[in-house]
Every structure is written in structure tokens, then in C-alpha cells.
Amino acid sequence: MILMFYYPLIQRELNLSTPSIAKSIQTDILVIGSGIAGLSIALKMAKTQTITILAKGSLNEGSTNYAQGGIAGVLDPFDSVAAHIEDTQNAGAGLCDPKAVAIVASHATETIQELIELGVPFSKESDKDSAFHLTQEGGHSHRRVIHAADHTGQTVLETLIARVKEHPNITLLPNHMTIDLVRNKKRNRCIGAYALNQEENSICAISSLYTVLATGGASKAYLYTSNPDTSTGDGIAMAWRAGCKVGNMEFNQFHPTCLFHPKDRSFLISEAVRGEGGILRLPDGKAFMHQYDERADLAPRDIVARAIDQEMKKHGIDCVYLDISHKPVNFIQKHFPTIYQRCLQVGIDITKEQIPVVPAAHYTCGGVVTDLEGKTSLDGLYAIGETAYTGLHGANRLASNSLAEGLVFAKMAHKSIAQALANDHIENEYVRPWDTTGITDPKEKVLVSHDWDELRRVMWDYVGIVRTNTRLQRAKQRVKNLHKEVHEYYRQHSLHRDLLELRNLVQVAELMIISAQKRKESRGLHYNLDYPHLHKKPKATILKPKPRKLQSM
Ligand code: FAD
Ligand code: SIN
């Protein structure tokens, strides 16, 4: 079910001929991305506007589809918004924006309620009980994670896709990969985008009143990741090229427990397994997390991932083990049906055996800088979901806060756009057709596939869980060369998805490295052996593109 690639295999058959120019499209709202964030805002906006949704693959291809643990929200009468805020800030290691945290913690519950009203079948306490089962995850002081067994994302997405498909105001364009945003330079406004229609091999020019980036994260920058193929940071790279600020790109979260198996590297083993009693052990069966944090196996992710990394290095082992086998068989099968089946397929019966696990890149805490309404620094452009940097996660995301953030900021951005449409008279602007002059067809694909491979190895080896100044400097040099190479190739050759994704990924990798070099301390997910201490007054790392590099119409 989940897509994990040890090597960045180019899976798609490439159409290497030059794309033709497709028809122009006009829409009120252009939503780029069909995950939880994109579909949520589309459904809200469609009550009054025409919406076009682009997805670069099928509609369900994105991280949302693979979310396991669930959605954080205050649903237990003994829990409180104040406790959710405190847990989020503790996990964020002093770098969360308190306003963003307060917005998400206080609106998560109502957005979960909206999903229930749309028909999402979340897990109940029991067949006879109408109360929802809440699970526990690392860093949470209460049970507050609503879920659909261990396939929450897939279940939510199925409901959202069914609702958007039946909406007359929504046009769905799967297999449309956005290449770049279009900016009216004089007005510093986003007026649409160009997209590669991969079915017809043509490029369409799309004119929109408002554009919403909901393109997910960038964890494919790393060799080992829990993420699907879509997570190539396209939204972040496109926004950067259009002149937007990006923030906190040094904080890429590594999930502590991904399956370690030659046949299935990095399938996620949900944190909810530890929430329901799973214990991390060394090969000799010894538990070790209590030596690192008083919350032991339920410490926040940065702490657990670093502890595993340290134990693996100390003992020279390839993985550690997660053990839930002490729980009753029917409990495991009911709560974790996907994980149970997936492990069984590779010969591990988790009701009897320990699961071999390692950390892998999982979540991009930084992204396109937005305000508390989802607005970016470019007029007409919003960013929501994993692609955005709202300030919620600080230096490390609290488990299950991501789906909540996508839902809440879809709501905030909807309100903001609806208000702007009511106040201002905005018209669609002309977006000129894509220019293919001077473009030739590439003769071979090895150049692109080699660069993919190299980039992800460099990021894994030098910009991983533990960093040093030397490693970062080396990574910077290598990625700079790759960036130049890919940019030249892009300018001369016809476009296809792997090339466009690589172009975005090298851009985002560069932003991650620059941000990591700027942070001269160790905090949350950024750990640099040359600066092991905490700064007294930490700041977010905000980068702004140089004006001369900006593209425009
Ligand atoms: P995504 O769901 O990633 O969707 C991105 C969309 O953008 C896709 O439709 C894609 O096709 C489209 N797209 C991207 N680039 C382009 C382009 N150039 N042109 C057109 N379309 C484009 N979080 C939680 O809160 N709880 C969990 O339990 C949880 N479990 C997780 C388990 C796994 C295995 C993974 C990988 C993540 C998990 N997360 C979890 C994180 C969470 O799933 C994601 O952060 C969240 O789903 C992101 O939603 P999104 O809508 O921002 O992006
Ligand atoms: C998990 O189920 O462990 C993933 C939860 C998350 O990423 O928030």
C-alpha cells in the first residue's frame, strides 16, 4: 500500500517528446493538491465559487492517503485546549508561534466534527459504544487522537474525494503537474499557474483569482522516507521562485519507527503502536528509551529518533525493535489491521514477534511562510497543509497535529478568501501560453535518475538526524552543483514529471541546507554536533529570495 523506495527509481514510463500547448483554463480558485488540505478548502469554497483542483498523479496519491495514527483534537471531557497547546509547544522545543498553536488547538475539534458530518467513519470504543476511540501518541499528555483503525488518512480521503466528485462547481484535473506559478510583476500578485497535462503531454495556462498551494511536504529529499512519491516540495520551490518567503526548512522530522526489512524498507509503524503499549528494544530485548527521557517510549519524535540513531551507532546495529507482542492478539488485529497484514506479508507476525524498525524522513516542519489566514507574502497566493510554515510546529511537530493543521488552515484560508472576494473586485488576468522555443527532446533518462539518486544520498548522509558544520558544507557544495546541472537541463529539454520534481527537490534541498547552516544551536529536529547547546532567544529561520532571481510574466 505505501510507496517506499530504497533507490529513487523512476517508476513512470517517460514520454520524452516535447509537450504541446493545451487550452487555457479560467477558474475562480485554483487549488494545487488533492490531499486533506486541498480538498477541504475546495469543498468550502465551492459553495460560492468555481474551483479547479490539480493533482500531479491520481487524486489519492499524497501523504494524506498513508496517515495512520489519526487527527489530534480535544474530544475527551477530561482533556483541554490548554493541554493540547502545552503539548504542542513542548514538542516544538521553544520555537512554536503561540498564536498558530492556539488557532489549531482551539479549532481542531470543530473541523473533526465537520469530517464526521461529511461521513468519515472514525473508530468507535466498541461496536456497542457510540463514543469515538481516542488513541495516544508521543508527546501527548492525554488520549486525543481520533482515528479510523490504522488507516485514518485513506478513510478521510475516500470521503473527501467522494464529496468533491459530486460537487458541480469543482473541476478535478488529476495527472496535471504544476510547473510554476504565474506572477503579475507590477502588482506582485499570483494570477495563476502552468501545468503539465501528463495524459495529453501538453501544457495548460491557468488563470485564477486566488491560488491555493496544498502540495504537501518534501521528505523525498531523503533516501529513506515514509512518504509517497508526491512529496518533492513542489509548492515550496514554486513559491520561492515566485518570490515568497520560506521558513524553518532545517526542521525535517524523522519518524522513529519505519519497518526495516529488505523487501519493504520504511513502511511506517505508527506511533500509536507505542501509544497502545509498544516498547522499543535492543536486539538483546533490553528497553532503552527510559534512559533518554522520563516519557520513555512516548517522548516526542525528535528525542526518540535521536535515541534510536545513537543506540544503532553505539551497538553497531542496523535497526532496533518495536515490541507489541505482549498485547492480546485480537487487540492488535483490531487496532492495527494494516500494520499487522503488511508485516505478515514480509514474514513478521507482530502478535508474536518484535518489529525491526529504523527512523526515516517523515515530515517537513518548515515551508512557505504564511500568516494566520494562510496568506503568503505574494498577493493572491495562499499555502496550507504540509507545504506551509504557519509557526505551529516550531522545531518539531507533535504527532497527529499535521492533519489537524491542514483542516484548520483550510478553514482559515477559506474565510480569508471569501472575505477578500466580497470586499475587492478582482478579475481573471490573461496568462499567456507556455513558450517552448528552443526546447529539444532529451535522448536519455539516466542524467535525471542519477541526479535524483545523488541528491537523496547527500541529504541522507550529510543533512540527517545528526549534522556537523563539515557535513553541511559538503552537502551545500554538492547540491549547488546539482542545482546548476538540473537548471541547465530544465531550460533546454522538454518537460516530464521526474525532471520537474528533481528541479523542485534540488531547490528545496538547498533551502534546507542554508537554513541548517544559519541555525547555530541544536534544537528539536536540528542537531548539530558543532553547536550542541540551545540559544537563549531562539528565532525562526526565514529566507527571502533575491529579487533578481524572481520569475514573472
Ligand atoms: P498531501 O496529502 O501530501 O497532498 C499533496 C497533494 O499535492 C497531492 O494531491 C499531490 O498530487 C499534489 N501535488 C504536489 N505537487 C504538485 C504539483 N506540482 N502539481 C500538482 N499537484 C501537486 N499526520 C497526522 O496528523 N496524523 C497521522 O497519523 C499521520 N500519519 C502519517 C503517516 C505517513 C506514512 C505519512 C507519510 C504522513 C503522516 N502524517 C500524519 C503526515 C500527514 O499525513 C501529512 O502531513 C498530510 O497528509 C499532508 O496533507 P497535505 O494535504 O498538505 O498534502
Ligand atoms: C503515526 O501514525 O505515527 C504518524 C503520526 C503523525 O505523523 O502525526
**Mind listing the pLDDT tens digit for each residue in 423-445?**
989 999 999 999 888 788 877 77
Distance (angstroms) between ligand 1 centre and the Cα of 328 equals: 32
Which pTM was predicted? 0.95
Q: What is the pLDDT of residue 147?
A: 98
Nearest ligand to the CA atom of 161: 1
Q: What contacts 24+ positions apart, CB below 8 Å, involve 79-87?
A: 79/142, 79/143, 79/144, 81/105, 81/106, 83/141, 83/142, 84/108, 84/144, 86/141, 87/139, 87/140, 87/141, 87/398
Distance (angstroms) between ligand 2 centre and the Cα of 382 equals: 25
The DSSP symbol for 263 reads: T
Q: Give the ligand 1 atom nearest the CA of 36.
A: 51
Tell me: pLDDT of 57 over 90: yes
Q: Which three cell numbers stand for residue 326?
A: 505482549
Nearest CA owner, ligand 1 atom 21: 55
- Rg (C-alpha) for the chain, rounded Å, is 22
Q: How far is residue 234's CA from residue 213's CA, in Å, rounded to a whole number?
A: 9
Q: Which one of 63, 66, 68 would you pick to mutate in the ligand 2 pocket, going by the greatest count of ligand atoms within 8 A of its CB?
A: 68
Give the tens place of pLDDT for each residue, 472-509. 999 999 999 999 999 999 998 889 999 999 999 999 99
Kind and range of the H or E element at 182? strand 176-184
Q: What is the pLDDT of residue 11?
A: 39
Quick count: other Cβ atoms within 10 Å of Cβ 82? 12
Q: Give the ligand 2 atom nearest the CA of 399.
A: 8
Q: Which three cell numbers stand for residue 427?
A: 478579475
Nearest C-alpha neighbor of 431 from the set 195, 191, 238: 191
Nearest ligand to the CA atom of 62: 1
Q: Give the ligand 1 atom nearest the CA of 225.
A: 36
Res. 16 pLDDT band, cuts 50 70 90: low
Q: How far is residue 217's CA from residue 35's CA, in Å, rounded to a whole number?
A: 11
Q: What is the pLDDT of residue 373?
A: 98
Whether 497 is catalytic is no
Distance (angstroms) between ligand 2 centre and the Cα of 298 equals: 12
Nearest C-alpha neighbor of 114 from the set 430, 451, 427, 404: 404
Nearest CA owner, ligand 2 atom 1: 270
Which single residue is written with the C-alpha cell 490548554?
82
Distance (angstroms) between ligand 1 centre and the Cα of 520 equals: 30
Mean pLDDT of the chain: 93
Q: What is the pLDDT of residue 8?
A: 32
Q: How far is residue 36's CA from residue 274's CA, in Å, rounded to a whole number?
A: 25
Q: What is the pLDDT of residue 6?
A: 31
Average pLDDT over every residue of 139-158: 97
CB 55 within 8 Å of CB 33 = yes
Q: Give the ligand 1 atom nearest the CA of 72.
A: 25
C-alpha distances in Å from residue 126, one per residue of 131, 152, 447: 8, 17, 54
Q: How far is residue 38's CA from residue 34's CA, in Å, rounded to a whole number?
A: 5
The DSSP symbol for 95 reads: -
8 lines ligand 2 (CB under 6 A): no
Nearest ligand to the CA atom of 322: 2
Number of residues assigned to the chain:
553
User: Which residue ranges have their beta carbon within 6 Å of ligand 1?
Assistant: 2, 32-38, 54-57, 61-64, 66-71, 152-153, 177-178, 214-216, 226-227, 230, 234, 268, 363, 385-387, 400-403, 406
Which amino acid, one-letter code, is at 129?
D
The more confident residue out of 441 and 511 is 511
Please report, rounded to a whole number, the percentage of residues in the chain having pLDDT higher than 90.
Answer: 89
Give the tens place of pLDDT for each residue, 352-377. 999 999 999 999 999 999 999 999 99
C-alpha distances in Å from residue 197, one per residue of 120, 152, 183, 497: 31, 30, 21, 10
CB 23 within 8 Å of CB 204 = yes
Average pLDDT over every residue of 39-57: 98
Would you list the DSSP string of 440-461? B--S-SHHHHHHHHHHHHHHHH
Those residues with Cβ within 8 angstroms of residue 278's Cβ, 6 or more apart along the chain or in another chain? 297, 322, 323, 324
Nearest C-alpha neighbor of 65 from the set 33, 90, 87: 33
Nearest ligand to the CA atom of 275: 2
The DSSP symbol for 74 reads: -
Rounded to the nearest angstrom, the gap between the alpha carbon of residue 2 and the centroid of all alpha carbons in its chain is: 15
402 lines ligand 2 (CB under 6 A): yes
Number of helices (H), then strands (E), belonging to the chain: the values are 13, 19
Kind and range of the H or E element at 467? none
Q: Give the ligand 2 atom nearest the CA of 401.
A: 8
Max CA separation in the chain (angstroms): 68
399 lines ligand 2 (CB under 6 A): yes
Give the tens place of pLDDT for each residue, 395-418. 999 999 999 999 999 999 999 999
Average pLDDT over every residue of 38-61: 98
Q: How far is residue 33's CA from residue 195's CA, in Å, rounded to a whole number?
A: 12
Would you list the DSSP string of 107-132? HHHHHHHHHHHHT--PPBSSSS--SB
Give me the catalytic one of 144, 265, 274, 301.
Answer: 301
Nearest ligand to the CA atom of 225: 1
C-alpha distances in Å from residue 367, one per residue of 41, 63, 165, 401: 19, 16, 29, 16
Tell me: pLDDT of 178 over 60: yes
Q: Give the ligand 1 atom nearest the CA of 57.
A: 11
92 lines ligand 2 (CB under 6 A): no
Q: What is the dihedral of CA 415, 419, 422, 423, to 10 degrees?
A: -170
Distance (angstroms) between ligand 2 centre and the Cα of 373 equals: 25
Nearest C-alpha neighbor of 173 from the set 47, 25, 43: 25
**Residues pairing with 29 in the sheet:** 51, 210
Q: Which one of 215, 227, 407 would you pick to mutate in the ligand 1 pocket, going by the greatest count of ligand atoms within 8 A of its CB?
A: 215
Nearest CA owner, ligand 1 atom 38: 67
Q: Which three cell numbers stand for residue 271?
A: 506511533
Q: How far is residue 443's CA from residue 545's CA, in Å, rounded to a whole number?
A: 33
Q: How far is residue 483's CA from residue 467's CA, in Å, rounded to a whole number?
A: 21
